[in-house]
Structure 1
Amino acid sequence: MAAAGRQGVTGGSFKGFGQKAIPFLKALDFHQSREWFQENRALYDSELHEPFCDLVETLTERFAAAGLGLRGDRKKSLFRINRDVRFAKDKRPYNQHLSAMLSPDGTKMEQGVFFVYVGVDRCFADVAWWNPEPPLLLAMRKAIIARPAEFRKLLSTLKKNGFELETEGRLKRMPRGFEQVNEPDLVDAIRNRHFYVQHMIDPAGIHAPALVDELVDFTMRAKPLLDWGRAIQGTAPRS
């Protein structure tokens, strides 16, 4: 979709990312300068940022209608394209991607979230319990041991829906207090630091409104993972 067709857009239903969204990110990564970004800010807004805001608001409406308990808005949900380079060796000022999070309260501080990422390297969505605070992570691990049949049913349901729990960040050794666990599937689960499933998005599909249906379908199929974590979260002590 041409950038000119998006000028002045301030909100509305998602119509697709602009055709220049990914090329813009590639060019930004090549230039990596504030001057270039400011010169091309209108292109960023029309092709990438405003469509992303529309996607968040459209998903919020659809998620509410589906009873998923996830929401966001165009001001709070998007992550900054600027990188925090204060303590990083890599001092490039801009990311190669733009991303957003929808959560139970609409902030980025909650757990049990939907995350969507559009980047030069890939496009994907997650439903995730990502890096839970220690009390919640401990409660999840205890629930796996206390109710293994329930957890295995979750894994079976996710598998039927096309998912397996991702293993990024999995510990090499069992955490303290769980050394007695010896069933391989439970051992793998206890070693997880995150509990999430992922859906890869065809980059060619980000330019059409049908992306919304695709992401709603993904989140509905991943809902058992949200339900499992939410049931445990209700019993997890506050840190």
Structure 2
Amino acid sequence: MDGAFKGFGPKAIPFLKALDFHQSREWFLENRDLFEQELRDPLGDLVDTLTQRFADAGLGLRGDRKKSLFRINRDVRFAKDKRPYNRHVSAILSPDGTKMSQGVFYVHIGLERCFADVAWWNPEPALLLAMRKAIATRPDTFRGLAAALKKDRLGLEAEGRMKRTPRGFEHISDPDLAEAIRNRHFVVQHVIDPAGIHTSALVEELVDFVMRSKPLLDWGREIEGGAAKD
């Protein structure tokens, strides 16, 4: 396959460290070729390669190297932190190939850490309510999902979880269900060893992760389909 992912360049992480140190447009423009060679172009290759692999596996996730990559530039309009550049590169593959849909795959290569998510991130209120209702009214289905994820060494992340049970669900007393209903997002995560980003083996690692995450994708898509009909 032309443009098949072969790995991020050996200077990928050192480039991010240097960019974080300088945080200047002048330095970035002087080193733009290095950024493209070590990070941006390989990330585009990864998106294209994963799109094909996800299609072959029937996972319903796709993207392309032009639309799926996030900019290295930060949006600082309303931020206290005015540093102009991110400390990472990232991309999304989604059901429709845009960054706006739910039930997505996200990959993040950065200084602090490298990871991938399969996520229903900050779903709109109607969909989030439908997901919470599904947990409350079909607990066996949700517990089956949780068991399937656990069997494959995954679990829902707690980031953003509410401290109190949302209104309308106060009657849910089972701790596992109440905890899940407090989620604002439904996310499973795979931590990537930074030493492993430099070869094509990363593709197999990420395909394996998404295959293990499929119960979450299927659960969310069924709920999303039902909510769209209501």
- Residues 170-189 of structure 1 mapped to structure 2, 5 A cutoff: 170-189=161-180
1:44 to partner: Cα distance? 0.1
Is residue 135–residue 237 contact of structure 1 (8 Å, CA) maintained in 2? no
Two-structure CA RMSD over aligned residues (Å):
1.1
Counterpart residue number, 2:7 = 16
- Residue 202 in 1 paired to residue 193 in 2? yes
Runs of 4 or more above 4 Å deviation: none
Checking the alignment, whether the CA contact within 8 Å between 1:77 and 1:102 is kept in structure 2 is yes
- CA deviation digits over 1:32-71, x for unaligned, max 9? 0000000000000000000000000000000000000000
CA contact (8 A) 1:205 1:211 kept: yes
Gaps of 5+ in 1: 1-10
Q: In structure 1, what is the Cα distance between the partners aligned to 2:8 and 2:197? A: 6
Q: Distance in 2 between matches of 1:164 and 1:212?
A: 22
Q: Is the 8 A contact 1:83 1:94 kept in 2?
A: yes
User: 1:68-120: CA deviations, max 9, x gaps?
Assistant: 00000000001111000001000000000000000000000000000000000
SS of the counterpart of 1:193? Answer: coil
Q: What is the DSSP-based 3-state SS (H/G/I as helix, E as strand, rest coil) of the residue aligned with 1:178?
A: coil
Displacement, 1:236?
A: 1.1
1:102-158: CA deviations, max 9, x gaps? 000000000000000000000000001111000000000000111000000000000
Residue 102 of structure 2 corresponds to residue 108 of structure 1: no
Match of 1:47 in 2: 38
Q: Partner of 2:73 in structure 1? A: 82
The answer as to 2:149 corresponding to 1:162 is: no
Identity fraction in percent? 74
Find 2:218's aligned residue among 218, 227, 230: 227
- How far off its partner does 1:235 sit? 1.1
Confirm or deny that 1:128 pairs with 2:119.
yes
User: Contact (CA 8 Å) 1:135, 1:238: kept in 2 or not?
Assistant: no
* Pairing 1:140–2:134 present: no
Deviations along 1:182-238, one digit per CA (max 9) or x if unpaired, are 110000000000001000000000000000000000000001100000000001148
**Partner Cα distance (2:228, 2:3) in 1:** 40
SS of equivalent residue, structure 1 residue 208 = coil
Residue aligning to 1:33: 24
1:95 to 59, 65, 86: 86
- In the superposition, relative to structure 1, how do residues 152 and 23 fare at CA in structure 2: closer, same or farther (>3 Å)? same
> How many residue pairs end up in the alignment?
229
Tell me the TM-score normalized by structure 2. 0.98
Normalized against structure 1, the TM-score is what? 0.94
